[in-house]
Amino acid sequence: MKISNKHTGKVRSKTGKIILYAILAAMLVCGLGVYFASQIPDKYYIFENKAQDLENALNQDGFRPVTSTVSVSDSGIEVDFKFLGIVPLKSSEVQVVSEQSLMAGGQPFGIKFYTDGVLVVSMTDVETESGKVNPAYNSGIRVKDVLTTVNGTKIKSNEHLTELIKNCGGSEVAIGIKRDKLIFEVKVTPQKDKYGTYKLGCWVRDSTAGIGTITYYDPVNKTFAGLGHGICDSDTGELMTLSYGKAFGADIFSVIKGVAGTPGELRGTFDENNRIGTIYKNCDMGVFGEADGRSIPDGEIYPIAFKQDIREGEAEILCTTDDSGVHSYEIEILHIYTNSVKTTKNMVISITDEALIEKTGGIVQGMSGSPIIQNGKIIGAVTHVMINDPTKGYGIFIENMLDQTK
């Protein structure tokens, strides 16, 4: 029997469409798998003998395209994720930690911060008798560099750098530099300005001070943490390298209300005689210190919760906006980024408490570090405000902050 070319063409056309749809479906599944895998953290934390609690927490939201199974073996604990319960996505490490409770903060504190070396914040030409020159820039020094040494001598402050350059007598000097993760030296010949002073041709900064909010105090280890983000230079935006720092009690005396496009601010003073402790670390997740026991304010003790335990919905923050002390204010957690590791934007939050909105407009500068409480547990801290809507901002997971104390 002879089959017409017309009929054969239709069969081939249908077969081609089926193959095309199959390829598109496979590409869609692969694309979704890659996307969901990217949303899964590489590490989870659980308390001892609580592996089942992790699995329950990850799967308690009903149907989800990604399912998880916790497996316990002699080599450790892993959580395996599958797409639609069939396609393997990834396996994440599970780290077992001891149960921990913290004293929630919410109190303002003042910080005096001294850099390790000096930070270059701008370049400025040296006006010599023969014209303007910039020996620092010409030697390769750039804004955001940290100058650490002069001819091997560690730079202690702005004034110390000025003295070292002045004493060089115009001779070439070796300047030690830290730039990101690079450490190197450059050769610079300081130039004499029209007043007879030898200069490099750059402005530097060696310290800063400000007010933030304490997130927690660990009564076991006698440590504390605050801000939920690092202290950065106001001109360059660079994280400032820490030589040493001190923390003091502070009082809030006024509030500049935040509006769309302009962040507000808590204004206050701190008393250097009312010392809390010593700052030993400044990093992306906040500032961390050792308490000396003289001025740690009292607060309520809360158990900690991990990211898998946090849920979108109602929560509260603790903060201070005047001289009446710490108060609780209602917020809503709008979104949780469980894949956010080593970052300060793990949650999107919204201020819903009318009393706080009336007073501050929402989140303002100085509230960074305000602890976030949900279901009777401390889950994180406020870190940033959304400039276009001060009622909304970001929060960091408490586990990310605690990880910096280990």
Residues marked as catalytic: 229, 353, 368
For residue 242, which of 209, 283, 290 has the smallest C-alpha distance? 283
- 3-state SS record for the chain: CCCCHHHHHHHHHHHHHHHHHHHHHHHHHHHHHHHHHHCCCCEEEEECCCHHHHHHHHHCCCCCCEEEEEEEECCEEEEEEEECCCEEEEEEEEEEECCCEEEECCCEEEEEEEEEEEEEEEECCEEECCEEECHHHHHCCCCCCEEEEECCEECCCHHHHHHHHHCCCCCCEEEEEEECCEEEEEEECCEECCCCCEECCEEEEEEEEEEEEEEEEECCCCEEEECCCCCECCCCCCECCEEEEEEEEEEEEEEECCECCECCEEEEEEEEEEEEEEEEEEECCEEEEEECCCCCCCCCEEEECCHHHCCCEEEEEEECCCCCCCEEEEEEEEEECCCCCCCCCCEEEEECCHHHHHHHCCCCECCCCCEEEECCEEEEEEEEEECCEEEEEEEEEHHHHHHCCC
